[in-house]
């Protein structure tokens, strides 16, 4: 692996981004799965929270599927923030500690301002996407606002190609945007108390430096999300914790460890 430093500041060094091979994704996933198993009830707690949020949205917006679709998929845009607790669980496991839920629930506190700013940004993106989703349904889906079955049939059979292509293209744009600015951003803010802007820039550099692995990792996230939705959110109990833990391993692999500054002897 080669490394690309983005700054030479010793006081507050910019994260050093490594180059990794595509097969690194398999290593990340293995590490994520192992952490999920070791995390036990703590990891499952977060998975149940994801599933419960999905069920709650389905209950509230059962008769407004266009809005539900936008919010449910937009909910995943908040994934980098919502999986924050799992980063701390993986860090505990990394240190050889028994994973505990309570500390992971407060992992945002040491860097509250920057984590809050980044979370607010993700919420804004989610709301914009939810609004765009409603507009696309209103303008392009024939027959008015549809039910889940009607949407599924239209997508699978490609009955309404204009709607399907535009909906997934716009949704893909928002997903790609969030992925590029957040793939390692939140772990950076959690682990090193990095500011939000630096963390987002580091994520962009990581994606530019490692397009192959990042594309594959994004595809894996999409696949795991589809499993979660296809099982009426039950699958999210497992898939989202695995995504969270795997993201931690991706962060550790892509971002070089911090090197303590060398102290010079006083003359």
CB 81 within 8 A of CB 114: no
Q: Give the Cα separation of 241 and 40 in Å (integer).
A: 11
Q: pLDDT by residue for the chain (267 residues), tens digit each?
A: 555 544 433 445 789 999 999 999 999 999 999 999 999 999 999 999 999 988 888 787 766 666 677 777 777 778 888 889 999 999 999 999 999 999 999 888 888 899 999 989 988 988 898 888 888 888 877 766 666 667 767 777 777 788 888 988 998 899 899 999 999 999 999 998 999 999 999 999 999 999 999 999 999 999 998 898 889 899 999 999 999 999 999 999 999 987 655 554 444
| CA 140/CA 163 separation, integer angstroms | 5
Three-state secondary structure call for residue 111: helix
Closest CA to 13 of 149, 194, 161, 167: 194
Q: Where are the alpha helices (DSSP H) in the chain?
A: 24-39, 41-60, 65-77, 79-82, 84-94, 101-105, 112-140, 148-157, 161-182, 185-192, 196-209, 211-230, 236-254
What is d(CA 46, CA 252) in angstroms, rounded to the nearest whole number?
21
For residue 49, count CB atoms less than 10 angstroms from its CB and return exposed for 0-12, middle for 13-18, buried for 19 or more.
middle
Distance, CA of 141 to CA of 224 (rounded, Å): 27
pTM for this entry: 0.85
Rg of the Cα atoms in the chain? 20
d(CA 134, CA 174) in angstroms, rounded, equals 15
Give 3's strand partners.
18
Q: Distance from CA of residue 13 to its chain's centroid?
A: 25
Contact 254, 184 (CB under 8 A): yes
């Amino acid at each position: 692996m080669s490394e690309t430093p983005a700054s030479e500041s010793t006081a507050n060094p910019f994260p050093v981004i490594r180059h990794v091979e595509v097969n690194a994704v398999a290593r990340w996933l293995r590490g994520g799965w192992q952490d999920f198993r070791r995390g036990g009830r703590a990891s499952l707690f977060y998975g149940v929270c994801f599933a419960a949020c999905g069920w709650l949205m389905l209950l509230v917006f059962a008769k407004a599927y266009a809005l539900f679709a936008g919010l449910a998929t937009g909910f995943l845009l908040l994934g980098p923030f919502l999986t924050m607790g799992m980063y701390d669980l993986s860090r505990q496991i990394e240190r050889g500690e028994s994973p505990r839920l309570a500390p992971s629930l407060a992992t945002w506190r040491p860097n509250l301002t920057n984590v809050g700013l980044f979370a607010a940004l993700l919420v804004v993106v989610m709301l914009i996407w939810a609004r765009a989703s409603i507009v696309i349904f209103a303008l392009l889906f024939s027959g008015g606002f549809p039910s889940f079955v009607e949407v599924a049939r239209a997508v699978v059979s490609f009955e309404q190609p204009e709607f399907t292509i535009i909906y997934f293209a716009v949704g893909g744009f928002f997903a790609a945007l969030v992925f590029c600015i957040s793939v390692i951003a939140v772990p950076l803010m959690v682990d090193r108390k990095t500011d939000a802007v630096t963390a987002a820039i580091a994520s962009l550099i990581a994606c530019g430096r490692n397009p192959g692995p990042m594309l594959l990792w994004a595809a894996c996230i999409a696949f795991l999300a589809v499993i979660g939705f296809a099982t009426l959110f039950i699958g999210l109990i497992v898939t989202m914790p695995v995504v969270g833990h795997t993201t931690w391993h991706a962060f550790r692999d892509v971002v070089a460890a911090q090197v303590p500054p060398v102290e010079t002897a006083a003359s």
